[in-house]
A and B are shown apart, each in its own frame.
Chain A
């Protein structure tokens, strides 16, 4: 789960990371009032989960009331790489001489957190990591001990940070690690951390990603996250149903159990000449209602021309799945889109027996089921 910049900054500021004066605004008037209060120049920044906001026109620096009004009017309501902008952060523009990157993340290969500092701040750090990995100083942290102060100093000096501000940067890094640790962060970053001509450090942006699996013990952040939720209407519906769902651009709807098997089904749709419309994993042990919800989700996507169910029961029972499919389909006078079902594993035979074959097409192997669904979709398109 990812917080918006304004939310992450609030969390950072409370923890003691210096941040510029700022106010959130949802209307042009609010934005102008905020700019007047903070004093020019200010930056007006779209609050959406999109990288490269500046380049896409989502961040504007303004020096007067008229400019503030014009910029707020342009940004509020704009479509930024598919995301609707409904909030802007109006923020004191920092006069800086240098920009750094400071962050903490999990190194999954090592199974350890890693603290990172780079003097190449203010740019896309992923690109730096790829093109010039040595430009980022890294220090792995033993999760049993946490970050020792010397480790923060070590990575800061290693990165070549100016010694006049080294202590302040180390202190920001220490705070970020503490936040990462206490708040179940997955990525906690400041980019850029600006250095002013007076040798002050200021967090000009803030990234905070939280481990979804740990939200149960971070109620305050979970609430912020709900506010930050955005994106596809169907993806939000999937969140409500509790599905792992990703909308794709094709026309074959795919429902299955288990991420690896669902991905494999997508790959086979592609292999047999079709295009997947979505990834939908009902998870383990799905009961009839959940299966019916899954079908409802996929039917409500207008791009879908056919649907394939691929269930390999372990903990999931084939008879439950079959009941759910019948339950979902029996409410229609006419089935909106052809449905192909493949059931294997636990109670698959019982499931196959109760499936209403007037409503669905039954196949016995994964390959046959996928090919059939692709054929159905092609017939619709033709």
Chain B
């Protein structure tokens, strides 16, 4: 089994007529994802890669019975695209791939999200994949394999690295979720961990965090208090100097004792989560935990 994405996931792609939208729609279709519609204002009636395009997400969801959307629109319009999907009744999942969405825009989207039952993954994320079934986003499908390890990560390419280490030794994945590294995101570590905890076919979880913010510390407490499924962790940015921003909006160390790699690693270890020094060691830990 899996979380959030399975064979019944029917996807609308927002921004399907753009370069990225079109390319990744083709990739998703090739992987076996049910991409059932596109939504682009003014482009209703067109077709992209054999997929019908509608003017609004609402129309696309109604006509094609969609229950998920993937957002591939430019940063200036990304929040509006998220609002549109959150407003379209019947969508269970919205995945925002767009990088560089203004933080204040996301604060408003996050506010709206609290009024709905929809899961929003992202923004600035690679998306999520249930190997062998469906992928929503830009993850390279060929490195994943089907199995019982859940994966949740703030970083896209680090996800690929850890998956590679897992797959290499035959540890397949139930679902891998890239939640994104921005200061304000929809689905966070705790949401993802809760989903994995309740999934009978996820037997262990790999959690990849990084410096900045306190999400990992909170997730560590959640694991200690609420999880029976074992978790292994990795934290990127041990060598980052204080006060410098390292790419991800969140990846800055204030130097005030929270948000550092040390505080995250010790929070995880204090709650029974072994933390790997290298991505390969994460796979070692998962192997031991299974």
Contact = CB atoms under 8 A, between A and B. Distances in A.
A48 to B, nearest CB: 15
B157 A263 contact: no
B264 interface: no
Contacts, number: 167
Contacts of A244: 245-247
Interface in A96-111: 106, 108-109, 111
Nearest to B75: A213
A139 interface: no
B22 interface: no
A328 B228 CA distance: 51
Contacts of B198: none
A369 to B, nearest CB: 12
A266 B261 CA distance: 13
28 contacts: A106-B184, A108-B183, A109-B214, A109-B218, A144-B108, A186-B103, A211-B102, A214-B103, A214-B104, A244-B245, A244-B246, A244-B247, A246-B241, A258-B157, A259-B247, A260-B154, A260-B181, A263-B239, A263-B251, A266-B239, A268-B278, A279-B240, A312-B161, A314-B126, A314-B138, A344-B160, A345-B140, A367-B280
Interface in B218-246: 218, 234, 236-241, 244-246
A380 interface: no
Contacts of B110: 111
A106 B247 contact: no
5 tightest A-B CB contacts, nearest first: A260-B155, A259-B247, A258-B157, A260-B158, A261-B157
Contacts of B218: 109
Most buried by A among B110, B247, B278: B247
Given A213-B102, A271-B277, A144 B157 contact: no
A112 B154 CA distance: 20
B237 A263 contact: yes
Contacts of B99: 284
Contact of A263 (B101, B126, B138, B236): B236
Contacts of A213: 75, 100-103, 249
Interface of A: 106, 108-109, 111-113, 126, 129-130, 142-144, 181, 184, 186, 211, 213-214, 216-217, 244, 246, 248, 256-264, 266-271, 276, 279, 281, 284, 312-315, 344-346, 366-367
B166 to A, nearest CB: 14
A367 B278 contact: yes
Given A216-B76, A259-B248, A314-B138, A109 B213 contact: yes
Nearest to B110: A111
A264 B107 CA distance: 29
Nearest to B259: A108
Contact of A312 (B20, B160, B236, B244): B160
Contacts of A217: 76, 102
A284 B246 CA distance: 15
Given A112-B111, A186-B103, A366-B161, A264 B156 contact: no
Nearest to A267: B238
Contact of B102 (A112, A214, A267): A214
